[in-house]
Structure 1
Amino acid sequence: MYKNINIFTDGSCISNPGPGGYAAILQYYQYEKIFSQGFFYTTNNRMELMAAIIALESLKENCNIIITTDSKYLKEGITKWIINWQHSKWLCSNKKPVKNIDLWKRLNITLTNHNIHWIWVKGHTGHIYNEKCDKLARYAATNPTYNDIGYI
């Protein structure tokens, strides 16, 4: 029997690229777990991806998951674009390598054995958990603790 989990994510970056952070909130009934981390040099898109990755990697068993994000890059990338990227050996339509390929591959691995529904919400419109993630991600971006996020 699969557990039903809600995940809310957001990424933030100051002077993109620059210091950045992510936040994810996992909900299981009345329980919540928060993940947040800041990096000295990154991009907003990498932080959006990291929020989803860290949340999904924390799960110890197969789950039914609803992921809510304000990132069209994340939602469209994982629900539409990734299929074409895989078929084209991780090249975009312009024949250049997919940006953030390391994180897209890592995210793709985390999806295995879960039933996931992706929801996009417009940012900064009062969605309580999107606003909470935004505050946590911005705080993490202004208080980086991790030096090496890899290439940009």
Structure 2
Amino acid sequence: MDRTQVNVYIEVSIRGPAVREGAYLYVLEYMLHDQPVTRCGYCRHESTENQLTLEALIRASERVRKPAEIRVFTHCGYVFNAIRNGWPQEWKAAGWKTAKGKPVKNVELWDRLLCGEQPHIFTATEQDHSYREWMLSELERKEKDHVGK
């Protein structure tokens, strides 16, 4: 099956496992007729870094209508390592238990990512990208707008 190559760049406004007000911004990028096409998404609510990152990835991947190879650019170590090492597929096969037999956190998000309408293949990278500065400044601007309301 010939798969579309898609990049998803994700930035979040919070770090760590504590639940607090935060936001994500993603940029979805693919080629159409040899021209780059981008789509963006933003959301703000109480969450953790991992949850925001997963939600951004789910929202972005839901916009991809054909089976694709989706390369995820994220600085969220947990999500990066899980995708890179194929843990979600292992967790699902083990009844959503970790290798140590503990329940997987955010199972509903991981399951939603794996069970999307299209059978995407995900890979992950922590490398910086050309959208990063813009995304971080956009998150900061939206934060200031939110606080000012």
Alpha-carbon offset, residue 121 of structure 1: 2.2
Relative to 1, partners in 2 of residues 1:63 and 1:84: Cα closer, same or farther, differing over 3 Å?
closer
Which consecutive residues of structure 2, in runs of 5 or more, have no partner in the other structure? none
Alpha-carbon offset, residue 135 of structure 1: 3.6
Q: Which residue of 2 aligns with 1:18?
A: 20
Q: Which residue of 1 aligns with 2:126?
A: 120
Equivalent position to 2:83, from 57, 78, 81: 78
Q: TM-score, length-normalised on structure 2? A: 0.75
Q: Which residue of 1 aligns with 2:115?
A: 109
Alpha-carbon offset, residue 24 of structure 1: 0.8
- Tell which deviates more after alignment, 78-87 or 134-143: 134-143
Q: Which residue of 2 aligns with 1:129?
A: 131
For residue 110 of structure 1, what is the amino acid of its counterpart?
G
Equivalent position to 1:67, from 64, 72, 76: 72
* Deviation string, structure 1 residues 37-63 (Cα, Å, up to 9, x no partner): 101x21111001111111001111222
Relative to 1, partners in 2 of residues 1:6 and 1:93: Cα closer, same or farther, differing over 3 Å?
closer
Alpha-carbon offset, residue 132 of structure 1: 2.9
For residue 96 of structure 1, what is the amino acid of its counterpart?
K
Q: Which residue of 2 aligns with 1:45?
A: 50
Equivalent position to 1:99, from 96, 101, 105: 105
Alpha-carbon offset, residue 34 of structure 1: 0.6
**Conserved in 2, the CA contact under 8 Å of 1:10 and 1:47?**
no
Identity of aligned residues (%): 24
* Deviation string, structure 1 residues 93-144 (Cα, Å, up to 9, x no partner): 443321111111111123843343322226xxxx332333334445556639
Alignment length (residue pairs): 139
**Conserved in 2, the CA contact under 8 Å of 1:19 and 1:141?**
no
- RMSD of the alignment, in Å? 2.7
Q: TM-score, length-normalised on structure 1? A: 0.74
Q: Which residue of 2 aligns with 1:9?
A: 10
Which consecutive residues of structure 1, in runs of 5 or more, have no partner in the other structure? 145-152
Query: For residues 49 and 19 of structure 1, what CA distance do their matches in structure 2 show?
Result: 16
**Conserved in 2, the CA contact under 8 Å of 1:22 and 1:140?**
no
